[in-house]
Amino acid sequence: MSNNTSWHYENFEPTGSAIGYRITRKLDEVQSPFQKIEIFESTDWGNLMLIDGAMMLTTKDNFFYHEMMSHPALFTHAAPKNVVIIGGGDCGTLREVLKHPGVETAVQCDIDEQVTRMAEKWFPELCDANHDSRATLMFDDGIAYMKNAAPNSLDVVIVDSTDPVGPAEGLFNKAFFESCFRALKDDGILVQQSESPLMLLELIKEMRAEMGKAGFTTFQTLPFPQPCYPTGWWSCTLARKGKGFDFREADSRAKGFQTRYYTADIHQGAAKLPPFVAAELGE
């Protein structure tokens, strides 16, 4: 191992735990109007993106998150055509969404253009679909975007946000979820990243409660591994207006695109919560 390596740690206060990487150098840094974005090169994880010191993604392990933020929702909706991604500036979720041939429009609305510029530069593989004719990349306030979205116009809204502090704080409350509820069609699905099911179960409960106040009635929290996030175990939560979650299993099994983590079996497995999580969520 080169003598020029050092260790970079992120202390995550809410869980009392930290994750670190052996890095070789800082590749880039930009202070946007919203946050500080840093790119590091690591010995084993490819490139790392940190926002205000918080680990956002690594080349090595981002596929868990991006696949699980998109495919479970898209294979649950009967025929998703119009998708909006709030946040998601690294474009990895957009890429996964556009693997679905039935999707007609996918809007990515991230407040910070610099996140996408850095992704294009340091994670180009995530930006493969940015020039897909179905894709629209916007750099604007996601809260305002959803507030102004046409009622009953969307099939799936994916909230691919940072932690509920700073710019993303407004993406975890009733007012925002009400906007999503209004913009979704009757069979629409909202997906939100929902933090660690081991250490932040209270946050998941509160988030589901806020979604409930906004009108959503059925919820599904799916855990998955995400090594670069605190505890290494993360989750997404799906919310629906009225009906249950009807997994299009046959379509999922016959999907004509590659994934590294997501499969129909993984999807079904994730939906079976461990007892300690199910008990807390009242399932």
Name the token pair of 56. 């956002």
Residue whose CB is less far from a second copy, 45 or 176: 45
Query: Nearest approach, Cβ of 245 to a second copy (angstroms)?
Result: 16
Cβ closer to a second copy: 30 or 271?
271
**Can you tell me which of 101, 121, 136, 276 binds a second copy, judged by CB under 8 A?**
276
Q: Give the residue with the Cβ less far from a second copy, 44 or 186.
A: 44
- Alpha-helical runs (H) found in the chain: 62-74, 92-97, 113-122, 142-148, 174-183, 201-213, 249-253, 264-270, 275-281
End-to-end CA distance of the chain: 48
Structure tokens that stand for 138 in this block: 């916007």
- Nearest approach, Cβ of 9 to a second copy (angstroms)? 6
CB 167 within 8 Å of CB 95: no
Question: Among 2, 4, 33, 44, which residue interacts with a second copy (rule: CB under 8 A)?
Answer: 44
| Range 173-212, binding a second copy (CB under 8 A) | 198-199
16 is a site residue for a second copy (CB under 8 A): yes
Q: Site for a second copy (CB under 8 A): how many residues?
A: 44
**Residue 131 lies near a second copy (rule: CB under 8 A):** no
Q: Is 160 a catalytic residue?
A: yes
Candidates 20, 53, 102, 166; binder of a second copy (CB under 8 A) is 20
Answer whether 264's CB lies under 8 Å from 249's CB: yes
Q: Which is nearer to a second copy, 13 or 186 (CB)?
A: 13
Q: Are 50 and 40 in contact (CB under 8 A)?
A: yes
Beta bridge partners of 192: 159, 237
Determine the Cα–Cα distance for residues 4 and 25; give it in Å rounded to an integer: 8
Nearer of residues 204 and 270 to a second copy, judged by Cβ:
270
- 263 vs 272: CA distance, rounded Å: 15
Query: Should residue 270 be labelled a site residue for a second copy when binding is judged by CB under 8 A?
Result: yes
Catalytic residue (one of 90, 110, 112, 160): 160
The residues in 228-267 that bind a second copy, with binding defined as CB under 8 A, are 231-233, 258-263, 265-266
Length of the chain: 283
Q: Say if CB 119 and CB 150 are below 8 A apart.
A: no
Q: Are the C-beta atoms of residues 98 and 129 closer than 8 Å to each other?
A: yes
List residues binding a second copy (CB under 8 A). Answer: 1, 7, 9, 11, 13, 15-22, 42-45, 60-61, 63, 198-199, 223, 225-227, 231-233, 258-263, 265-266, 268-270, 272, 274-276
Task: Report the catalytic residues.
Answer: 160
